A and B are shown apart, each in its own frame.
Chain A
Amino acid sequence: DQQVKQNSPSLSVQEGRISILNCDYTNSMFDYFLWYKKYPAEGPTFLISISSIKDKNEDGRFTVFLNKSAKHLSLHIVPSQPGDSAVYFCAAREGFQKLVFGTGTRLLVSP
């Protein structure tokens, strides 16, 4: 049973617009959440994270929002750029050293 779900397998956005990637989780014990980005033929790279005691974390063009009551987090990319085209994985920390990943959302940003 998937504890971390990314229900949209793909998302297409025009350059300059906002990209919103969504993630839902079921385990209320998760206390730390991360987003990873993956380009083809490369390993995932860490993008941004958020602790469960916060509801927002921002880093440049990337903002992650956490709604604990809804068990939902989202990644906003503003403005989107063609170089942002990649697969984005949501992940949640389950205890120390273990991350539970979602299935990923493929983002395509067109010029």
Chain B
Amino acid sequence: DTEVTQTPKHLVMGMTNKKSLKCEQHMGHRAMYWYKQKAKKPPELMFVYSYEKLSINESVPSRFSPECPNSSLLNLHLHALQPEDSALYLCASSQDPTGYTGELFFGEGSRLTVL
């Protein structure tokens, strides 16, 4: 299994809603990532977990709350989002927990629309 699975693929939410994005991998990778990609822009790093511990937070607003319950699962909890948070959210994992090789395995992404 060489897949990173993200659910849901599409999500529409209001600014007062609470929702979560889920990411799962069964490749035994010990580093997992959240990236955000807006239209016609490059993916931008949000968070990195290594060995289930948060190792990088790219100054992301607290309305985004990551969680890594175990080595296979990564969640992104969303609360009180703004319309400008509408984007494609990409999850990735890497075999190398240091990320030294830069080789990431990406999921298809969750497309989020905030109304």
Contact = CB atoms under 8 A, between A and B. Distances in A.
B102 to A, nearest CB: 5
Interface string B76-115: 0000000000000010101000111111111111000000
Which bracket fits the contact residues of B?
A: 20 to 34
Given A43-B4, A89-B42, A99-B45, A49 B99 contact: no
A91 B43 CA distance: 10
B65 interface: no
Which bracket fits the contact residues of A?
A: 20 to 34
Nearest to A49: B102
A25 interface: no
A96 B40 contact: no
A2 B41 CA distance: 10
Contacts of B101: 32, 49
A97 B43 contact: no
A6 B45 CA distance: 18
A41 interface: yes
Contacts of B94: 97
Interface of B: 4, 31, 33, 40-45, 48, 50, 55-56, 58, 90, 92, 94, 98-109
Given A32-B101, A93-B99, A103-B40, 6 more contacts: A2-B42, A32-B102, A36-B106, A44-B104, A97-B98, A97-B99
12 contacts: A4-B42, A32-B102, A34-B102, A42-B108, A44-B90, A89-B43, A93-B99, A93-B100, A97-B50, A99-B99, A103-B40, A104-B42
Q: Nearest 10 pairs between A and B by C-beta?
A: A43-B106, A97-B99, A101-B42, A46-B103, A97-B48, A93-B102, A44-B106, A34-B102, A101-B43, A43-B107
